[in-house]
Structure formats: C-alpha cells, structure tokens
Chain A
Amino acid sequence: MRCRKCGQKAVINMRQHRLALCAEHYLEWLPQQTERFIKKYEMFTRYERLLLAVSGGKDSLALWDVLWHLGYNVDGLYINLGISGSLDYSEQSQQFAQNFANERDLKLISVNVHEKYGESIPEIAQRTRRGQDKACSICGLVKRHIFNQTARDGNYDAVITAHNLDDEAAVLLANSLDWSLERLGRGQPLLPAGGGFVRKAKPFCRFYERETAAYALLRAIAYISEECPFSIGSKQLFFKQDLNRWEDHMPGTKLRFYLNYLSALEEGAFPQRQESPAELEQQRCPICGQPTITGTTCAFCRLFEK
C-alpha cells in the first residue's frame, strides 16, 4: 500500500477515511487534524494556560507531544493513584510521564492520592460501598475532583484529556444500552466552564485508538503499555473489542456512531444539564468548596466521611 500524498510505502491505512500515509506524512497529518478539531469545537487558544491530564499511557503522552509541537501552553498533571499490582503500575506510569516531561523540559504537576488524602484508590475502594468490586468508579470520581481542583488552584483556563474515539464510542455504547439520557446529554468534546467547573476539552476525540498509538510509536514516545490491573475484564474493554469487530467488517462504523451522536446532541436530542451556572455557583460543597449538584457535601468528600 502506498502513501496517498507521496507514493512512498504506507505505514498506516485508515479505512474509515480511505487514507493510507507514510510515516512522514502521518506525522504531519495527525497534528494538523488535532488543530482542526481544536478550532472546530472552539476548545482553546494558544493564549490560554492548559492543564493536560497525563497517565503515562500512549494517548496522553501523544497529545502532550502534539500540543507542544503546535505551540500550545500546556502543563501536565499526573495523579498517582497508588495502584501497585505485580508491576507497580502507578510508580511505573508516573516514571514514563516524568521522563517525557524531563526530556522536553515541560512542567509536570504530580499529585499523590495516598500522600494527600491518606489512602490510595484501592484502599478507598475497599473501604467504601461505592468502591466495592468497582475501583474504577472511585478512580474516576477522585481524578475528576483533582483535575478540577488543581486547574482552579493553578488558574488554568482548561483541563485537557486525551480521550480518543474508541473511548468515546465505548462510553456512548454503554450509555445507549442503558438509555441513560442524562449521561448521553453530556458527551460533547468541549464542556464549557461554569459554576465552579473548569472548561474541559478532548482534542483527540476523533482519532481511533490505533492512530494515537501509531503516532506514539512513530515519534518514539516511551509509554506504559501494561494495562491498569483494575481495567482487566472491564465493560469498557468489552465494548471496545466488539466495536472493533464491527469496524473490521464495516469500516467507519465507530466514526459514524460517534459523529452522528454529536450531530444528534447538537440538535438537542438529549436533555442537557438542568442546573444553570448561577445555580451551581450557589451549590458548593461545604468541605472542599467545589461545585456539587446536591448542594450538600460532594461525592468526593463523602468518600472520606467517618
């Protein structure tokens, strides 16, 4: 297979776009597309301070590399969750994130959950009812809280995450199967700031996971390839595998599923958040000061109530 742009040997074939590219043109194409999505969804500008959630995996490090090359003002935030397992997962992934930052002279903020809150994610999960048999639920809650808090404390304009299209499509499939209209109403690539929440943006939301991985490989970015021990057997992985089977037989299935959803979302097919920013402004957690829809202690602080 040949590169559509220069006729050299292709290294990747994106069947959903009917586009094969060589290494050189692929490394041009992915950042150009990222820039296009940033502008299309009006995510952020080069004049703003951005905080990127960095896990040490391929997606977040590839996105950091792309934003850095595009000239955006972006710092990284690594959250050490205290997940060990046989390979000391959190320590290893932090090392990948730190090495990436050091090699490029970028700023990485690290927050250690155990040091800051007295317990690691597995310990919180074991102790709380919410975390019983599903540490991922605790993990998501804690990460969202720390992202927002760190961004507010550091006066960042937006929090950036490296969710790719496979991530978004898997969540969309799960929410569709559950007919979770409330969740389906908040799957935008850009969530504006308001009511104490910092703006959130997902510049990689239209790339397939193999495309971000190919970018990381071609740019020789060292990333943690091992899976989080808690993700093994997760519903998200299950949905991703099924979506990829469909994609193999019907190229473009994942892309159409996601883009048609975004169109439906824009047309108002799903209910949007009921609380206005002004209402949320009134509803702050009395312990941490972060917004909460209940108006009482937020879900994060409730994890630590005795």
Chain B
Amino acid sequence: MSDDSITIILKDKTYPMHAGIPLHKALRILDLTANAHLALRDGQLITEDEMLKNGDRIQLIAVISGG
C-alpha cells in the first residue's frame, strides 16, 4: 500500500485516507451517500469518478436539509 495520503473534510471533522482511489470509493469507505454530498478540491466542484491524488484536501458539502 502506498504512503500517499489525502484528507477528506466534512463539517468540522477530517478523515485521512490513502490516495489513489476515486471519490465515489472514498465516500463509500466513509459510509456516505454520493447523492447527499458535493465535493470540492481547491474550491472547484469535482465529479465522483475523480481520482484523489497525494496531498488532496477534499471538502465535502452535505446538501440534504430537513426544513
């Protein structure tokens, strides 16, 4: 396994993870539904097939509201 790592941020929590996986797989590891989240890398929206590379910081936005 590579030592390369990424960081996933959701609200005030951070989740370190190995790099080299697509976003949809990272979401599955965290037990998060892709349809309930958007993901930003460097402030840009990315799609679920995007490969996460060493050093990436991915900001997740939970989009489901219950008002």
Contact = CB atoms under 8 A, between A and B. Distances in A.
A214 B66 contact: no
Contact of A248 (B33, B38, B49): B33
B53 interface: no
B61 interface: yes
Given A1-B47, A12-B47, A57 B67 contact: yes
A241 B65 contact: no
Interface in A54-83: 55, 57-59
Q: Is the interface of A mostly helix, strand, loop or mixed?
A: helix
A208 interface: yes
A231 B36 contact: no
B29 interface: no
Contacts of B38: 210, 213-214, 217
Interface in A114-149: none
Interface residues of A, number: 34
Count class of interface residues, chain B: 20 to 34
A111 interface: no
A194 B48 CA distance: 46
B35 A227 contact: no
Given A210-B35, A210-B38, A248-B35, A237 B45 contact: no
A10 B65 contact: no
B49 A240 contact: no
Contact of B61 (A23, A166, A213, A241): A213
B4 to A, nearest CB: 22
B65 A210 contact: no
A245 interface: yes
A228 B67 CA distance: 7
A40 B62 CA distance: 31
Contacts of A55: 67
A78 B49 CA distance: 39
A221 interface: no
B64 interface: yes
B30 interface: no
B55 to A, nearest CB: 19
Nearest to B36: A244
A241 B37 CA distance: 11
B21 interface: no
A231 B65 contact: yes
A244 B35 contact: yes
A1 B50 CA distance: 8
A228 B64 CA distance: 12
A20 interface: yes
Top 5 A-B pairs, shortest CB-CB distance: A231-B66, A237-B66, A213-B63, A11-B45, A244-B35
Given A11-B44, A210-B63, A245-B33, 19 more contacts: A13-B47, A20-B47, A23-B45, A59-B65, A210-B35, A210-B38, A213-B38, A213-B63, A217-B45, A217-B61, A227-B65, A227-B67, A231-B66, A231-B67, A232-B66, A236-B66, A237-B66, A241-B36, A244-B64
